[in-house]
Amino acid sequence: MEEKLTQQRVEYFIDLEDDEFYVDRMREKHGIAPDSSVFHTSISRLVKDKRIRRKGRGLYKKIRQIKPVQVFGVDRERKSPVTLIFPRDFNTMMEMDFAEHIVIREGDLILISGLSNYGKALRNGTPILTPNGWTAINKLIVGDTVFDSDGRPVKILGVYPQNLRQCFRFIFNDGTFIDSDNEHLWQIQTGYSRLNKETGRGKPNSQWHKWSILSTKEIIKLCGGIGEVPLHQRFIIPNNEPVQFEKQEVELNPYFLGLLLGDGTLTNSTPRISTSDNEIVDYIRELGFRVNYVSQYDYRILGIYNQMKMLGLKGTKSDTKFVPKKYLFNDIETRLAVLQGLMDTDGYIHKNSKSIEYSTCSKQLADDVSFLVRSLGGRCRIYSYDSHYTYKGQSLNGKPKYRVNIKMNNLNPFKLKRKADGYKGFTKTDCRVIRQIDFVKRHHTTCIKIDSPTGLFIAKDFIVTHNTTLCMSFAGENIDMSPVLMGNEYTDANEEPLPRFLNRLDNMDWVQWANGNGSDKFTLLPVREDYAEHIVKDRLNIVDWINIATGEHYMIGTILDGLKRQAGKGIVIAAIQKAEGAEAGRGGQFTKDFADVELLVDKFGSYETLLTIGKVKEYTQPVTGRTYAFSISKGVRIINFREVIKCNECRGSGYKVGQKCENCDGKKMVDA
């Protein structure tokens, strides 16, 4: 039956070539000659359309809708099949599927439409932590250093402006907030999974201490919409680990500096300190400073005038004190010592031995204490209030005061023995809780991609926010084809190979990347634009990835057309961005006009990847082919590769009777 139908379509195609009106219409509207391959390709698309069941039905309407970008194609009869080895971890069943249904030919374009590290777009102007201070996210460039959620310095691999997007403000229980777009990914945990090891029926809680990755729009849906989040629906986001700034030389001992900022008088020519703790006085003497007794609790400290002047602290009053920048952006030991000095003087422990506070008249010093606490992995909140004093029987207003409420688990913020022994740590969650979600107007946003396994980086107020594997696998498995690697994933701003790229080469130990003489078997091109001009003809070219700004995705058709024209007898593999759950890359139908095979990549749960792979048969249709799930180990090795199918219990919706489907755990698909 299929053969007969195909023959009828071919005969119909021949009849159409004799239709002078149609030929004139094609020449007049699109400048396409009847003897060109483009003409034949355009007619072929029409006669293969299963919706055309008889001659003339809706044909003229379809002809009028034809656009030049949609009619270019490859004459499959003139191209020879070639052998392209897919990643070694893809199982035998998939290889058979390819042999039966998918033939790779010379000049083919294989499209990888995937999520770009599950993008993280924040509003332009959002401060991101760097070794030299806070920098607006839109001011960062590839090669800059930021810090991941583990506190480690990492390089930026990509900066992707997203232009105007609807933003949402996440307000946390410590008063901090951050603005992100609806695709921003958060690592979250429910209060139930955080605090309850057992269910209400006494059974083990399967979600105990489990983290999930959700987008802004998913969180809004689960929280019941915009506004204040009900207590039972509030999510927790993790705190960062202590930030690992590089060690810097400082003028004064950091603990001693903290003591001076807390109980020191710095307006006199000779600094003084007031304390009733002999332990503190003895410690200052052990540092080698001369300490002279002045009055009941006052001591004059000699020999530090020049150091205080160099640090800019000479003459500062109680409401103008601050922590010098070189102490804030120093190693963990230095920052902890400064905090301990401050807490030993002006710190307070509540009766429960768990809640602690720091009090000061200086707004800047309160902010600096907050920075120290958060950079050490703690959590804090600043409260301000008006102070009062009595003079000659009258109550008068004093200077504004600030209290910093502090919670720390892993580090003791005190050094003074009586306070250090009394502090028991904070046993409840030290994480931030999402208290409220609000609309903010549309803003320009920016994504960054970092060289970190977690993909999470530290933004303002120390808030932690979350295709290359397939491209590297194609290159490694086809190393004998002398592949060409280009794009913005492998080199830094100076066009030098990134450490992450070199590590991936080492981790793919089953691939011989170099010849016997030490020369590379592949070519590395640091290309970020004009990709077609750098295609090496008749070779395997891998573009990772095509970077196009939001609002200009209509250009993807032109770019892919250029890549295909330059391929010759080679093959081009190109990676593009895709929105989560979308059936095509960003650019819609334009992404499919020139592709022969598409690999559609999506999320599968929190930590796995979903892959649908098949022929691009019609630019208006989704990719048709089998679907697989897998995990990635060491950034390059594809593991646990298996076929998955739509869940029968929830029919692929992820929910059943208003609850998350237990059969697929809300993933919509299950193992075949």
Q: Is position 594 within any domain?
A: yes
- The yes-or-no verdict on residue 56 having pLDDT over 60 is no
Q: Are residues 368 and 497 in the same domain?
A: no
The model's confidence at residue 364, banded by pLDDT at 50, 70 and 90, is very high
Between residues 529 and 14, the one the model is more confident about: 529
User: Rounded to an integer, what distance in angstroms lies between the CA atom of residue 629 and that of residue 670?
Assistant: 9
- The yes-or-no verdict on residue 77 having pLDDT over 50 is no
Contact of 407 with 379, CB cutoff 8 Å: yes
pLDDT score of 49: 46
- The yes-or-no verdict on residue 513 having pLDDT over 70 is yes
Most confidently predicted of 110-119, 120-129, 328-337: 328-337
- The yes-or-no verdict on residue 587 having pLDDT over 70 is no
Average pLDDT over residues 238-254: 90
CATH code, domain with 196: 2.170.16.10
Q: Which tokens is 222 given?
A: 């689960």
What average pLDDT is seen over the chain?
76
The 10s digit of each residue's pLDDT in 369-392 is 999 999 998 888 898 888 877 777
Rounded to 5 degrees, what angle do the CA atoms 656, 658, 660 make? 60
The model's confidence at residue 633, banded by pLDDT at 50, 70 and 90, is low
pLDDT score of 552: 64
Average pLDDT over residues 502-529: 82
Q: Is position 79 within any domain?
A: no
Contacts of 119 (CB under 8 A, 6+ apart): 160, 183, 184, 185, 447, 577
Q: Is position 194 within any domain?
A: yes
Average pLDDT over residues 15-31: 46
Among 334, 333, 313, 322, smallest CA distance to 250 is for 334
Q: Are residues 260 and 392 in the same domain?
A: yes
Q: Are residues 642 and 565 in the same domain?
A: yes
H-helix or E-strand spanning residue 263: helix 254-263
Q: Are residues 323 and 391 in the same domain?
A: yes
CATH code, domain with 285: 3.10.28.10
Please write down the HEC assignment for all residues of 359-408. Answer: EECCHHHHHHHHHHHHHCCCEEEEEEEEEEEEECCEEEEEEEEEEEEEEC
Q: Is position 80 within any domain?
A: no
Average pLDDT over residues 497-517: 79
- The yes-or-no verdict on residue 247 having pLDDT over 90 is yes
* Greatest C-alpha distance within the chain: 113
Q: How many domains does the chain have?
A: 4
Helices (H) and strands (E) in the chain, counts: 18, 31
Q: Is position 508 within any domain?
A: yes
The model's confidence at residue 55, banded by pLDDT at 50, 70 and 90, is very low
The 10s digit of each residue's pLDDT in 277-317 is 889 999 999 988 888 888 888 899 988 888 888 999 988 99
Among 483, 505, 544, smallest CA distance to 635 is for 505
Q: Are residues 457 and 474 in the same domain?
A: no
Q: Are residues 259 and 173 in the same domain?
A: no
Q: What percent of the chain has pLDDT over 90?
A: 14
Average pLDDT over residues 482-500: 76
The model's confidence at residue 553, banded by pLDDT at 50, 70 and 90, is low
Q: Which of 462, 482, 514 is the last residue of a domain?
A: 462
Contact of 112 with 474, CB cutoff 8 Å: no
CATH code, domain with 663: 3.40.50.300
- How many other CB atoms are there within 10 angstroms of residue 620's CB atom? 11
Q: Are residues 51 and 108 in the same domain?
A: no
Between residues 638 and 275, the one the model is more confident about: 275
pLDDT score of 639: 74
Q: Is position 82 within any domain?
A: no
- The yes-or-no verdict on residue 71 having pLDDT over 50 is no
Q: Is position 246 within any domain?
A: no
Q: What is the CA radius of gyration of the chain?
A: 32
* φ and ψ of 278, to 5 deg: -65, -25
Contact of 370 with 382, CB cutoff 8 Å: yes
The model's confidence at residue 589, banded by pLDDT at 50, 70 and 90, is low
- The yes-or-no verdict on residue 57 having pLDDT over 50 is no
Contact of 545 with 527, CB cutoff 8 Å: no
pLDDT score of 610: 83
Q: Are residues 412 and 449 in the same domain?
A: no
The domain of 414 spans 254-420
Q: Are residues 184 and 318 in the same domain?
A: no
User: Rounded to an integer, what distance in angstroms lies between the CA atom of residue 582 and that of residue 607?
Assistant: 19
Three-state DSSP at 457 gives strand
Average pLDDT over residues 489-498: 72
Of 207-216, 264-273, 351-360, 659-668, least confident by mean pLDDT is: 207-216
Q: Are residues 96 and 134 in the same domain?
A: no
Contact of 191 with 428, CB cutoff 8 Å: no
- The yes-or-no verdict on residue 514 having pLDDT over 80 is yes
- The yes-or-no verdict on residue 335 having pLDDT over 80 is yes
Contact of 608 with 625, CB cutoff 8 Å: no
- The yes-or-no verdict on residue 39 having pLDDT over 60 is no
User: Rounded to an integer, what distance in angstroms lies between the CA atom of residue 406 and that of residue 357?
Assistant: 6
Q: Is position 126 within any domain?
A: yes
Contacts of 548 (CB under 8 A, 6+ apart): 555, 556, 559, 576, 577, 586, 587
CA distances from 560 to 74, 369, 592, 596, 622 (A): 13, 53, 9, 11, 18
Query: Can you name the residues that pair with 381 across neighbouring β-strands?
Result: 405
- The yes-or-no verdict on residue 53 having pLDDT over 60 is no
CA distances from 624 to 5, 96, 160 (A): 21, 16, 30
User: Rounded to an integer, what distance in angstroms lies between the CA atom of residue 465 and that of residue 121?
Assistant: 9
Most confidently predicted of 127-136, 203-212, 218-227: 127-136
Rounded to 5 degrees, what angle do the CA atoms 369, 372, 378 make? 105
Q: Are residues 568 and 601 in the same domain?
A: yes
Between residues 628 and 367, the one the model is more confident about: 367
Q: Are residues 175 and 303 in the same domain?
A: no
- What order do you get walking across the sheet with 379-391 strand by strand? 347-349, 356-360, 394-407, 379-391
pTM of the model: 0.57
Between residues 422 and 146, the one the model is more confident about: 146
The model's confidence at residue 116, banded by pLDDT at 50, 70 and 90, is low
Contacts of 504 (CB under 8 A, 6+ apart): 468, 472, 634, 635, 636
pLDDT score of 452: 73
